[in-house]
Each structure stands twice: as structure tokens, then as C-alpha cells.
Chains A and B, each alone.
Chain A
Amino acid sequence: EAGVTQSPTHLIKTRGQQATLRCSPISGHTSVYWYQQALGLGLQFLLWYDEGEERNRGNFPPRFSGRQFPNYSSELNVNALELEDSALYLCASSLGTGRASQFFGPGTRLTVL
């Protein structure tokens, strides 16, 4: 069974540009979570989507947004990129919510120059 996949693997942008990151969950998983792992800051929760709806978001500005498609894949958009947005962006999926285990993809390394 395929795990969570993310694309692209690496993304290099300049300050002020927009970035789009993509995630495909494990087949059958309906919940998708996005996390940011910046150097020295650990994993921080960004967004949670379930059944196509945004259910919760972390303490990030509105320029971080996303959506979940009918096939449960998801997209994270970051507008007006800033240097401090450089990080590993991780997507996780789970079978439903509550106590369900979250399985992570390999991540997208975003570098903002």
C-alpha cells in the first residue's frame, strides 16, 4: 500500500512569490494535516482538512491557506513568501479523526531566497 506522497520534493522561491505544495493521502484516509518544521522550531501544526472542509488551523497568518479535493488530496498555498517561511513542510493523513494515528509523507523542502 502506498504511503503519503508529497510534491515537489524541493521548491526554491524568492521573497514575495507564491508557493503551492501538494499531498496525496494514504488510500482510504479522509483527514489531511499540514505541519511546518523550521530549523530550531520543531514541528508546528498548520492546517487540518477532513471531508473537504478546513477543520482547524494553527497560529499562522492567513497567507498560509489550502484546500482538500474530492479525492482527499490536498494543496497548501503560501502567498507573499518571507525568508522565515523556509522550512520542511510535512503532510500527514489519518483514517478519520480522534485517536487515529497520523502517517507522514517525506515532506517538501521550501527555500525562500
Chain B
Amino acid sequence: AQKITQTQPGMFVQEKEAVTLDCTYDTSDQSYGLFWYKQPSSGEMIFLIYQGSYDEQNATEGRYSLNFQKARKSANLVISASQLGDSAMYFCAMREGVYNFNKFYFGSGTKLNVKP
């Protein structure tokens, strides 16, 4: 089974609107971490936001927030007030467990296009 599933290969959003990028995960571990990365066309993977499995509050970083629904195993990224510079690939990732915690699993990504 896929560890991380991103079901939206591509999305469009109008500038200044909010957008939600979906991510579901699969793990039987109680301790895990969830991450979102942005990858512009230049290729660099930029860390955006982190949510720990024991964190009770949803993580927020500026215009980014992570909608963490543990029972549903979902960790959706919400970008508020989209900007043209938000156009990029977005990857959801998970680091699971305490053992072998060095391994990160990535989803297939969502390509976001922000329209002026």
C-alpha cells in the first residue's frame, strides 16, 4: 500500500483565493511526522510545514496551515491568499515511527497553478 497518497495531480486556483491540497497517509505507528514541501521549477525542495502525530493543534506557518485529521489519516495543506509565486509542485511526506525514522516517504505531488 502507498504510504502517502496525493490524489490531485494538478490544480488551478485564482490569485488571492485559498486552496487545499489533499494528502492521506498510511501507517500503523503511533509516532510519526508529516511534512509539506514546495518545489518550484528551479528544482529545490523547500520545507513548508510540519505536523507531529501527537500535536493536538493544527500547524500553521504564515499563509500555510495543515489540516490534520488523525482519525481519517489526512494531512491537507491549506494555502490562504494564493500568490503567483505559489505556482509549483507540492509534495506531502511522512516520517514514521521511532525505528528507521530516517526514511521519509513522499507522495506523487500536486502541481499548483495560480492564475492572475
Q: Do A and B associate with each other?
A: no
Q: Which residues of A contact B (CB under 8 A)?
A: none
Q: Which residues of B contact A (CB under 8 A)?
A: none
